[in-house]
Amino acid sequence: MYGTTDRLVVPSFRTVDGTPVDLVLRRTGHDQLAINAQGIAADVTRCATSAVGLDENPPGAAIAGIKSELTAYDAARFKPIRLTGLTCGDNCYIDYIAQTDGAGDEQALCSAPECEAWINAGQLPKGFMNITVGALFTLGTQVDNSGNIMSTDFPAVTAFGPPDVGAPTHDLPLPPGTYVDTQDPCDAAANAAMRTFTGAGISGSGTRDCILYLPEHSGKTYRGIQTCTDTDSGTSGTTPLTLTLDGNLAFTMNEGPDHTQSLRFCDGD
């Protein structure tokens, strides 16, 4: 939860499908609040009385907590942002909401390695929509349609990965080791059918140094991102990830359209 003296933003989830939603709370009268979000508009009145009224300032501890979160956000290298879209014109921008006090819709030049594929597709991949990632910001150059430089200090995102601050990741209750596609035998599986869970991430035959960031957890399903280093090129890349436990030693992971794989534990480290 974060906000100002007259507005609070409460990150929440829709009970129907588990998608994240930011509830915006504003005072509209004595003991009355307006609650708004996409597809949500409600006015509520407090029925029970208490020693603290809505017209009083938030407790000092809450204010100190908000200031502490803002300080941590400003100091973070990979800052937590929620991706909301991709907008292209003379330049291509990532649309986002910073996960900090009073933040609204913002844009930054999309300059990360992942952006090339997104720009070619003309849209933000569905798996990244409304998901929280860490973003490495710098200053970039804006140009017009003729290539003329309009600005050299516009915010730009040059890399994505797990954020340094913000919502913590959920640990997977799985033992580290080798996991193999459920369609393949443990002792004769192809490289493409094998994954290694290190406790920090799930690497494949062409990736290493993978780090999971799974801030969303509902039942047996975890949702977030994974950042890995490509074994051949040495470049880092981030993909959306939904992982569902299929038991104590098995899971199904979805990394986007046509990238779903069910695996079971075969060999421990």
Closest CA to 162 of 136, 137, 133, 138: 133
Check pLDDT > 80 for residue 27: no
90 or 66, which is more confident? 90
Model pLDDT, residue 58? 54
178 or 26, which is more confident? 178
Model pLDDT, residue 146? 86
Check pLDDT > 80 for residue 152: yes
Q: For every residue of the chain, which 3-state class applies, written as one string? A: CEECCCEEEEEEECCCCCCEEEEEEEEEECCEEEEEECCEEEEEECCCCCCCCCCCCCCHHHHHHHHHHHHHHHHCCEEEEEEEEEEECCCEEEEEEECCCCCCEEEEEECCCCHHHHHHHCCCCHHHCCCEEEEEEEEEEEECCCCCEEEEEEEEEEEEECCCCCCCCCCCCCCCEEEEECCCCHHHCCHHHEEEECCCCEECCCEEEEEEEEEEEECCEEEEEEEEEECCCCCEEEEEEEEEEEECCEEEEECCCCCEEEEEEEEEC
Average of per-residue pLDDT across 41-56: 57
Edge-to-edge strands, sheet with 236-247: 202-203, 194-197, 177-181, 260-268, 250-254, 236-247, 221-230, 207-218
59 or 185, which is more confident? 185
Percentage of the chain exceeding pLDDT 90:
62
Average of per-residue pLDDT across 241-253: 95
Model confidence at 50, pLDDT cuts 50, 70, 90, reads: very low
Check pLDDT > 70 for residue 182: yes
Check pLDDT > 60 for residue 55: no
Model pLDDT, residue 170? 95
Question: Where along the chain do its domains lie?
Answer: 2-58, 78-161, 177-268
Check pLDDT > 60 for residue 48: no
What is the per-residue pLDDT across 107-149, written as a single tens digit (0 to 9) for each?
999 999 999 999 999 999 989 999 999 999 999 999 998 889 9
Contact 195, 205 (CB under 8 A): no
- What is the phi/psi pair of residue 119, to 5°? -65, -40
Check pLDDT > 60 for residue 57: no
Model confidence at 19, pLDDT cuts 50, 70, 90, reads: low
pTM: 0.72
Model confidence at 165, pLDDT cuts 50, 70, 90, reads: very high
